[in-house]
Amino acid sequence: MQSEKQDPVNYYIGIDVGTASVRAALVDQSGTIVAHADQPIQIWEPQPDHYEQSSAEIWAACCTVTKKVIQQVDVAWIRGLGFDATCSLVVVDKQFQPLAVNYEGECKRNIIMWMDHRAASQVDRINGTQHSVLSYVGGVMSVEMQPPKLLWMKENLRESCWEKAGYFFDLPDFLSWKATGVTARSLCPLVCKWTYSPEKGWDDSFWKVIGLEDLVADKYEKIGNQVLSPGASVGNGLTPEAAKDLGLAEGTAVAASLIDAHAGGLGVIGADVKGYNLPCENQPVMSRLAVICGTSSCHMGISDAPIFVPGVWGPYYSAMVPGFWLNEGGQSATGKLIDHVVRGHVAFPELQAKAAASAQNIYTYLNSHLDLIKKSLPVGFLTVDLHVWPDFHGNRSPLADLTLKGMVVGLTLYQGLDELALIYLATIQAIALGTRHILETMQSAGHHISTLFLCGGLSKNPLFVQMHADITGKPIVLAKEVESVLVGSAILGACASGDFASIQEAMERMGKIGKIVQPNHRDKRFYDKKYEVFLKLVEHQREYKAIMQGV
């Protein structure tokens, strides 16, 4: 890859474990992705709201994709390795062997996924305590966090799982353990998903009041009593066994990890914006909101002092960028919702056939079809009589209401390709309206956000991006490298190697701007009206739920 006259380039490996696949990238010191590979991973859904995976399968996939991306480079030039992953819960016994998190006793299924909602009653009881730690998760704990899942296991799998468990890992921490043999945890998942405080550590009273006093008794060995900042070097780097598995050199630096959305934020939010005439130029990084949009979406805003935002997770200190407080809004189903709506429509087979015939993916074809039927009006105006409330999997932010459901208003008897394109558009708009709802809630609490930075799979869809610009009224920055999550995890590896003095320096050096998308301000009145309808939808849903209560 290098000519003989060139000095060796420093490379870093970023490994991202998403919901449905594992990806790896070889990234150079300027933040350019040189090689990329991915591999799907299995999801089990043994019953509604139960989602499970296998840590053994995930580690094997990490090894496969890493070996693919390093084929054309001397491994001696690979200076560091960073992991990010979904905030799923991995359970192993005292010998680090997988334990079943299911009634079937299938030990290979030892991960309760982030999107698993089995612990709904447990999280209700935890929120009922009104414990002070809840103020750092937006006032209400989500069912997607780890304490309710731990409590569910204790109450439902006591003998087969809870009493045999040696360690409970967040998936990003499991990967760094697998690579280094060190059980130290990253501050990021512990603060964001487990209620750990960077200043005070674990709060014994919280675990006791929710019925998990067992974790206190063993001094938190099972969930982590050694904590590292993201990007810090873990142990002595890769163990001989892990180095062989991954195809890398023994001792290669391994970084304390991040949750996947936080890695995306790291990969995009710190980019140098000079010369682009953006409102965030010459403003502190706190004026930026990173939106990581894939299966679900996360909205990451940072501040130099804690800001408490109702229904928005945080403030978390140093959970993404060291020295800054993080607030994290989110939508539990975005990419998954779009797929659900499109693939479940009766006209989907017709869409598939026509997209294949034109050698386009289904979403590129739908975008083109919308352009054909819009006539003289802006494409967004096609949904003047069609409105969607997008919480098909509950509301994460800013309402923090697991019980909310999806809604569609404006259906007709027509079921053709035009109607599929319109419901697709209305769904994208609903997701963007949800982002506006989160953004306005954060602004009301004290954030001052002028620019959105988007990354993740949905940021590849120009309609999705333009609707977010038009509906929020904010310019959108797209990273030069679409796979900003992988750049973010590579930044961790770069920091662990010692090649950069700080995460902030690595963010600025390795994060690059690709494209700016401006809002169409002429359409502001239309989207203000759509937003009014959007907020009315949830009012009506709560009204009819109140009417039906007790029936």
Distance CA(285)–CA(177), nearest Å, equals 32
Exposed/middle/buried for 5, CB within 10 Å: 0-12, 13-18, 19+? exposed
Note the pLDDT tens digit of each residue in 253-273: 999 999 999 999 999 999 889
Note the pLDDT tens digit of each residue in 122-181: 999 999 999 999 999 989 999 999 999 999 999 999 999 999 999 999 999 999 999 999
What pLDDT does residue 3 have? 37
551 pLDDT band, cuts 50/70/90, is confident
- DSSP 8-class letter at 91: E
Across the range 196-211, mean pLDDT stands at: 97
Across the range 296-304, mean pLDDT stands at: 96
Beta strands per DSSP E along 136-257: 165-170, 185-186, 227-228, 253-254
At 317, the amino acid letter reads Y
Note the pLDDT tens digit of each residue in 333-358: 999 999 999 999 999 999 999 999 99
Distance CA(384)–CA(517), nearest Å, equals 23
Helices (H), strands (E): how many in the chain? 17, 21
At residue 134, the 3 state secondary structure works out as helix
Distance CA(476)–CA(469), nearest Å, equals 6
* pLDDT of 56 strictly over 60: yes
Question: 35-39: which pairs have CB atoms within 8 A and are 24 or more residues apart?
Answer: 35/68, 35/69, 35/70, 35/71, 35/72, 35/73, 36/69, 36/483, 36/486, 37/64, 37/65, 37/68, 37/69, 38/65, 39/64, 39/65
Across the range 402-416, mean pLDDT stands at: 96
Across the range 475-488, mean pLDDT stands at: 93
Which of 227-236, 265-274, 463-472 has the weakest average pLDDT?
265-274
pLDDT averaged over every residue in the chain: 96
What pLDDT does residue 546 have? 93
- For the four alpha carbons of 437, 431, 21 and 493, in that order, the dihedral sign comes to negative
Say whether the peptide bond before residue 8 is cis (omega within 30 degrees of 0): no
Report percent pLDDT > 70 for the chain.
99
Note the pLDDT tens digit of each residue in 508-538: 899 989 999 999 999 999 999 999 999 999 9
Report the residue count for the chain. 551
* pLDDT of 1 strictly over 80: no
Contact predicate 144/406, CB 8 Å: no
Distance CA(236)–CA(246), nearest Å, equals 16
274 vs 451: which has the higher pLDDT? 451
What pLDDT does residue 550 have? 78
Which residues does 158 contact at the CB level (< 8 Å), separation at least 6? none
Distance CA(52)–CA(91), nearest Å, equals 11
